[in-house]
Amino acid sequence: MSIKVGIIGMGFGKEFIAIYQKLTGCEVKALSQRNEKKLNEIADTFGIEHRYTNWKQMLNDKDIDAIHVVSPILDHVEMTVASLNAGKHTACTVPMGTSIDDLKRIIAAKKKSGKVYMMMETAVYTREYLLCKKLLQEGKIGRIQFVRGSHIQDMGLKGWPDYWLGFPPMHYGTHAISPLLDITNDIPEYVICHGSGSINAERTAKYGSPFAVETATFRLKNTRLAAEATRALYETVRQYRESFDVYGDKISFEWEQLADEGHVLFKGGEEAERLDVPDTDDLLPPEIQEFTKRNHIMDKSHVSFIQGAGHGGSHPHMVYEFISAIKEGRNSAIDAVKAAYWTGAGICAHESAMKSGEKIRIPDFQAYYDSL
């Protein structure tokens, strides 16, 4: 059984082409990109015949089994719903959407189609996260007492598309939130979030979001745990940071303060050690193990770019899980309901910040799915 994949979006999307091509039982059937010159350059490089400058035409290709959406955020919902409605298994980069109604639209489309949906969240497939998950499963962390995440990135620098201008921080909060909810294996019940600082008037006017930073505290539904997440997009000086911390009653994990200085395990008292986090190639089929390696580079003709190893080596894990779910006839590890909780937590957090820290209950997306 060979799964034929179409990829929409050749910015970040080109990172995944070689992984799909090398994974046994999978092939890249078509690419879509608005810019025809760029589309042809990349398709020629990877030997892909079918090309679409209009993504909707790709959905009519009956030879395509699955679509991977890697488009700008504001296109995610339309493309995902259309792909599912066209009978295609569908993966989409984060976030799932930017409103609760849009998340429900995707849940409904997924259930009606009966196809696999997967939100391609990198943060729960990084080498650091997979190590912590292993430590938890082995009982080394013990009882989790608290979790915290952050994603701080100055997207006011040159080179970012205009749609990022003034984007609400927690509408793109999944990198900070998802590891917290996944490692605790729970769902968020409510959130209290505070906005802090301010961004310039031009950025504020774009989405009506005034804050430089949003910091949220989530109460998890079936435990006594709280989780904290902080997100900043503009006008807040810091080295790029996409992190999570896990505090247990046996050991705790903290993300490094500076890039490449090493993460830390605390083992009680004054005992602490820097971690050399291993690659995660042993969790993958041999043919795509290379894509977890740090600084893995592919040079193809006159096109040169990093392939696969970005975001902590997560890319091949996401591809493998998406294709495996299709082949095995099951939901993906980040199906529509789970993706809605992870994304909806951030949407509700921003609402709370805009209402001066009002407690906002996060919808019961599982109950919504069951009611359809």
What would the two tokens of residue 154 be?
Answer: 């100055």
CB 316 within 8 A of CB 349: no
Cα 36 to the center of its chain, rounded Å:
27
How far is it, in rounded angstroms, from Cα 236 to Cα 157?
12
Torsion, CA 42, CA 75, CA 227, CA 359, rounded to 10: 170
What would the two tokens of residue 35 be?
Answer: 């810019």
Amino acid identity, position 333: A
Picking from 66, 122, 114, 116, the residue whose alpha carbon sits closest to that of residue 93 is: 122
User: What does each of the 372 residues of the chain score in pLDDT, given as a tens digit?
Assistant: 799 999 999 999 999 999 999 999 999 999 999 999 999 999 999 999 999 999 999 999 999 999 999 999 999 999 999 999 999 999 999 999 999 999 999 999 999 999 999 999 999 999 999 999 999 999 999 999 999 999 999 888 777 888 898 999 999 999 999 999 999 999 999 999 999 999 999 999 999 999 999 999 999 998 999 999 999 999 999 999 999 999 999 999 999 999 999 999 999 888 999 998 998 999 999 999 999 986 554 544 434 444 445 799 999 999 999 999 999 999 999 999 999 999 999 999 999 999 999 999 999 999 999 999
Cα 55 to the center of its chain, rounded Å:
22
Other CB atoms within 10 A of residue 246 CB = 25
User: How many alpha carbons fall within 13 Å on the CB side of residue 280?
Assistant: 26
Query: Is this prediction's pTM over 0.85?
Result: yes
